Amino acid sequence: MTTNSDSAVDILTSESTYQKKYFDSWANNRGQPVVIAELVRGELNKDIVTLRQAHFITKSALINATWVIPVQPQWIFMNGTRKAQERQLLIGKLNAEKRIGPLEAAGLLLFPDMASPVRTLYNAQLWSRLFALLDSPLFESVPTINRASIQQDLGAFLRNEDVGLTLYIAGIRYMWRETSRAVWRAFAK
């Protein structure tokens, strides 16, 4: 689903109501999927990003459900331009890796311009690049829906102790210039 709406309420439209109900019931019974993105050194000393699935909240080793997650990686450069990568499906066993890259000197969004039923947990280097972009005057080059998702994800990860308070504060430092009500609503949740 793609949206340019500035309303957090409009993120899930009527066209996706069935999908949302199905996914919510599944997530409540099986745990919510998380896509973990990590920056690693690849071949020829080029940075690449590895993606893998994990569970949010459900930390039991007995649960091994996996999801089919469509990922549309996109680099966002510090000058505000974007470069889309090839759409991929993240399928397979938990902790199976998918590689994208080579990474360019940019921020990375895995689900640009869309609401995603998964949470995205970046490693420290990728969070740092994304926060540098959000802390710049061109923070609006990150779509509103993604800025809202970042705030919701950071809050959820902080409550679940997946990120520390220092990282959380780095992620909200730019909020003083945020004008979108949707992002403020997501931040307040």
State which H helix or E strand residue 161 sits in: none
Rounded to whole angstroms, how far apart are CA atoms 7 and 80?
22
The answer as to whether 11 is a domain residue is no
The answer as to whether 1 is a domain residue is no
The answer as to whether 92 is a domain residue is yes
Number of H helices, E strands in the chain: 5, 9
Q: What is the pLDDT of residues 3-30, one digit of tens each?
A: 344 443 344 344 455 555 555 554 444 5
pLDDT of 66 above 80:
no
DSSP E strand stretches across 11-151: 32-41, 47-56, 69-71, 74-76, 82-84, 88-90, 98-100, 107-109, 119-122
Contacts of 154 (CB under 8 A, 6+ apart): 163, 167, 168, 171, 172
Rounded to whole angstroms, how far apart are CA atoms 6 and 148?
10
For residue 105, what pLDDT is reported? 76
The answer as to whether 24 is a domain residue is no
The answer as to whether 4 is a domain residue is no
Number of domains present in the structure of the chain: 1
The answer as to whether 28 is a domain residue is no
pLDDT of 59 above 60:
no
Query: Please, which pLDDT band fits residue 88 given cuts at 50, 70 and 90?
Result: confident
Average pLDDT (26-43) is 70
% the chain with pLDDT above 90: 2
Q: What is the pLDDT of residues 94-131, one digit of tens each?
A: 656 778 877 777 778 888 887 777 888 888 888 988 88
Domain that residue 51 falls in: 33-188
The answer as to whether 14 is a domain residue is no
